[in-house]
Amino acid sequence: MILNTADIKVLQVWHAFVYMIGNNEYLQTLKIKNMKKLMILSAAALAIFLAMPQFAEATTVQNNITVTQSVKYTEITAATLPEAVTATLTKDFVGYSIDKIFQGDDGTFKLAVRKGTVKSTLLFNTKGELIK
């Protein structure tokens, strides 16, 4: 069998590779280098993962909507409350006591009610329907 120079080069490279694999010291060096790279990449990935929420929070655009209330309320007595609102209160809000009653200039009624220690605000229209 006659070998040309290309075949000889391949054999030399193969011989060097087999020698390096057989050399345990080379393998240990190769493992250490790869482990160092793996640790550095893991630390970088962790740093990026932990920093992402901060970047997202910094770039979040907040749309604040301000609503101005143009309805003016005046305090009234329970006697001037419409019968439809009184009927809804007695039917749906049993056990609630009325602290204050307000009538808005748009015809709505705002009631500050309480059941035990829990305070709430109810908003009714003139038909006795609960708005809020």
pLDDT digits (tens, 9 = 90+) for 46-92: 887 777 766 655 555 566 666 566 778 888 888 888 888 888 888 88
| pTM reported for the whole predicted model | 0.46
> Which of 91, 98, 96 minimizes the C-alpha distance to 76?
98
Percent of the chain exceeding pLDDT 70 equals 78
> Which of 113, 105, 101, 109 minimizes the C-alpha distance to 75?
101
> Residue 58: its pLDDT value, please?
54
Residue 22 confidence (pLDDT) above 70: no
> Residue 42: its pLDDT value, please?
85
> Residue 95: its pLDDT value, please?
85
